Amino acid sequence: MSVSSFDPKKIRNDFPTLNQTINGYPLVYLDSAATTQKPQCVIDATTQFYTLQNANVHRGRHTLSEQATAAYEQVRQRVADYFQVTSSEIVWTKGATEAINLVAHGLRNTLTAADTILISPIEHHANIVPWQELAAQTGATLKTLPLNADATFDIAQCCEVIKRTNPALLAITHASNALGNITDLVPLIASAKAVGALTLVDGAQGALHLRPNLKKLDCDFYVFSAHKMVGPTGLGGLYGRYTALNALSPYQTGGEMIEKVTLTHSTYRNAPAKFEAGTPNIAGVLGFGAALEYLMALDLQILQHYEQQLFIYAANALSKIDGIIIYSDLKSNIGTLCFNYKNEHPYDLSTLLDGYGVAVRSGHHCTQPLMSHLNLNGSLRASFAFYNTTKDVDQFIAALKECIALLD
């Protein structure tokens, strides 16, 4: 498959939500950092399960249950193939947020008041608050990596801080959900490992756009959300290097995760089973399987090339508008533009843009520490995916100019 044969118009037709009008205008969906749209195959897979295959997994010996179990575990293997790890290292969760909480909870009996947890100022709240809670519970100290004034990292300086701080855990994002900035993880993970620290990477944004080889990345934990990978909502997962994963204490207890139960004592299964209590989101898993099959049929290099060309096209067009201030790193980015227009409130602009059928995000994007660092009350965010087109960008820019004219 060549770059020239990558047909965004054809791909766009796979996503039924995109082919509609909003307020009388063709929908321009630029909020994929919040949630991606779903291809028809994902919708069909979910519907098919409830229509023809509905049964619980792992428990029945009848045909439907055995078929559901086989399909369910095949998707776990598909996730492992996507990230180039083994299926025993993949735990199903409700999403990236629950996956981070699972790790934080699992470390409660491991960390002490002598330990340090190291995070960064650009993190989503989901990769901050669980560590605050863990620090409060264990007495550990929570510290942050330094950040440049423009919200980029000086990697050499960060590596020096890791060496000096000697943390028990480094939790860092693969790509900023607010800015789209890509984190240069390799030297940070190497520095953390050199001092014996565990490493957790928030891959909620990076999993789709970067499709990382997690064995090569060499982190201990990596979290992801299906709904940000063209899959269903309410589902995600945790990759854990098996020895680190199995060492965590269970996050929830109940059925399915147990080995033996008496009235006074219970023993638990090994990972990943011991972290999957109760009936899982089976339909969501099968829908995610269809999403992964769809994504893996797309050549990664071609997809990334297309997304980067689209991002550059949008960034160039946006930067030509007088009064626009862009906060995103334009050199290393998954395809997200964080910006404001003069001193106008981002809510006002996003509301006006919606009148033209353009869907962007506004607010603090669950990154209040980052907004404080940039001295902002909030911002607008236009986040792109491979199903967007240059026509989307043109409509977005034209609508933005119309909105600015109304405000000036």
Positions marked active-site: 366
- List b or e across 310-335, with b for residues whose CB sees 16 or more CB atoms inside 10 angstroms: bbebbbebbeeeeebeebbbeeebbb
Q: How far apart are CA 350 and CA 365, in angstroms?
A: 13
Burial, 109: exposed, middle or buried (Cβ in 10 Å; 0-12, 13-18, 19+)? exposed
Helices (H), 30-176: 40-48, 63-83, 96-106, 129-138, 155-165
Strand-by-strand arrangement of the 336-341 sheet: 324-326, 336-341, 379-383, 361-363
- Cα separation, 358 vs 91, in Å, equals 36
Task: Report in angstroms the alpha-carbon separations of 311 from 41, 331, 337, 382, 385.
Answer: 26, 10, 8, 10, 9
| CB 296 within 8 Å of CB 80 | no
Contacts of 193 by beta carbon, 8 Å cutoff, 6+ apart:
199, 218
CA 298-124-399 angle, to 5 degrees, is 65
How would you classify the pairing of strands 258-261 and 266-268?
A: antiparallel
User: Tokens representing 368?
Assistant: 């209040």
What is the strand order of the sheet 116-119 is part of?
A: 90-93, 236-240, 221-225, 198-202, 169-173, 116-119, 141-144
Question: Which region, left, alpha or beta, applies to residue 199 given φ > 0 means left and ψ of -120 to 50 means alpha?
Answer: beta
Rounded to a whole number of angstroms, the distance between the first and last alpha carbons of the chain is: 47
Residues 6+ apart with CB under 8 A from 152: 181, 329
What is the spatial distance between Cα 81 and Cα 59, in angstroms, rounded to a whole number? 26
